Amino acid sequence: MTDGDWRDGGFRQRRPSAETLAWVEASMGPGSRVVGCRRLTGGVCSAVNRLAVERRGVRTFVVLRQYPGGLDLRPSLEKEIANLGVVAGSGLPVPGIVATDVAGASTGGAPSLLMTRLPGRVDLNPAEPRSWLTRIAEMAALVHSLDLPAKTLRPWADSWIAARDGFRVPVGAQRPAVWTAAFDVMKSPPPKDTAVFLHCDLLPVNLLWSRGRITGLTDWNSIHRGSRAIDVGHCRRYLAALYSPEWAERLRSLYMSIAGVTLDPWWDLYALLHYDDSGPKWIRGQVAGRRPVDVPGMTARVEVVVEAALRRLG
């Protein structure tokens, strides 16, 4: 297997090196041989490849995540490894760890994580949007029902000066006053809310689907405990940017019906305000051509959802 260059997320990275493939083969057991490699779509800060490995006549598929040598993202990899250990055995559809090389000592200097392959694929073009959103709401409620250890999330609002200095009205805002009013809300102390287990990156691009059901939840490097509105709000922000404000609002309603709780509007707004001028670039990179992306309209769509969250705050 020869190396080849690819471009994703703005950096250039080679396919798995000969050292990496040898490490994979050793990790899979004596007699293992890598017989296929396919880059998976959508990675922004890491190279993700599906590898086919044969051993004693049996073919197994595994997933290899590697970080480019020019970016010191080992802490992110270490977090994902630790967090996968936290959710192992939880009943969630998460990958298992096969082998790790955080230092890149055996993989040509590329920090690496070898995982089991989950069935399914990312679905960004749902044929039945309501059913698709219902399954996402159910998955969020399942995650939040788990009593698993994680650090308590400390929002930017813990530092009021940093919050005031960091807020910027997006360039494409149609009504800057909406954003300014939302930023003002963030200057007040966050309300207390029941702390639940959070994925903190529960986005459509991190869900795998098969036959209308979620078969995988990936990207486990940000777990915390905090308001359930944070996970739902992050997903709502993504839905508004990529699809429509109506989809974002529908997810909120579905989640509250399924979980039997009311989502705190302050924490919902907190998650929505993670949108900024870099959002369209990141989303377009994550979507990676799997559906049309209306970049010019993103900010206006998120703005509608921000305004609705403000109204709920009264």
The pLDDT profile of the chain, 314 residues, written as one tens digit per residue, is 223 333 334 334 458 999 999 999 999 999 999 999 999 875 667 889 999 999 999 999 999 999 876 557 788 899 999 999 999 999 999 999 999 999 999 998 899 999 999 999 999 999 999 999 999 999 999 999 999 999 999 887 444 434 555 689 999 999 999 999 999 999 888 999 999 999 999 999 999 999 999 999 999 999 999 999 999 999 999 999 999 999 999 999 999 999 999 999 999 999 999 999 999 999 999 998 999 999 999 999 999 999 999 999 98
Helix/strand/coil percent split, the chain, to 5: 40, 20, 40
Beta bridge partners of 113: 65, 100
Last residue of a domain, one of 62, 89, 116: 116
For residue 225, being part of any structural domain is answered with yes
Confidence at residue 43, expressed as pLDDT on a 0 to 100 scale? 62
Total structural domains within the chain = 2
Whether residue 155 is found in the same domain as residue 255: yes
How far apart are alpha carbons 90 and 145 in whole angstroms? 11
Whether residue 52 is found in the same domain as residue 92: yes
Which two three-digit tokens encode residue 61? 């598929």
For residue 55, being part of any structural domain is answered with yes
Whether residue 218 is found in the same domain as residue 272: yes
Which CATH number belongs to the domain containing residue 70 in this structure? 3.30.200.20
| Contact call for residues 114 and 26 (beta carbons, < 8 A) | no
For residue 169, being part of any structural domain is answered with yes
Whether residue 288 is found in the same domain as residue 153: yes
Sheet holding 97-101: strands in order across?
33-39, 47-55, 58-66, 112-116, 97-101
Which CATH number belongs to the domain containing residue 178 in this structure? 3.90.1200.10
How far apart are alpha carbons 232 and 220 in whole angstroms? 16
Whether residue 111 is found in the same domain as residue 147: no
Last residue of a domain, one of 62, 83, 116: 116
For residue 121, being part of any structural domain is answered with no
For residue 124, being part of any structural domain is answered with no
How far apart are alpha carbons 177 and 14 in whole angstroms? 46
Whether residue 105 is found in the same domain as residue 153: no
Confidence at residue 166, expressed as pLDDT on a 0 to 100 scale? 67
Confidence at residue 45, expressed as pLDDT on a 0 to 100 scale? 74
pTM: 0.91
In DSSP notation, 201-244 reads ---GGGEEEETTEEEEE---S--EEE-HHHHHHHHHHHHHHHT-
Whether residue 153 is found in the same domain as residue 45: no
For residue 268, being part of any structural domain is answered with yes
For residue 238, being part of any structural domain is answered with yes
Confidence at residue 12, expressed as pLDDT on a 0 to 100 scale? 45
Confidence at residue 44, expressed as pLDDT on a 0 to 100 scale? 62
Which two three-digit tokens encode residue 69? 């040598």
- CA-to-CA dists, residue 280 to 4, 241, 244, 273, 300, angstroms: 28, 8, 14, 14, 12
Whether residue 104 is found in the same domain as residue 136: no
Residue 29's domain comprises 5-116
Q: Which of 169, 178, 145 is nearest to 245 (CA)?
A: 178
For residue 122, being part of any structural domain is answered with no
Which two three-digit tokens encode residue 92? 């969630």
Whether residue 171 is found in the same domain as residue 278: yes
| Residues near 297 by beta carbon (within 8 Å), at least 6 away in sequence | none
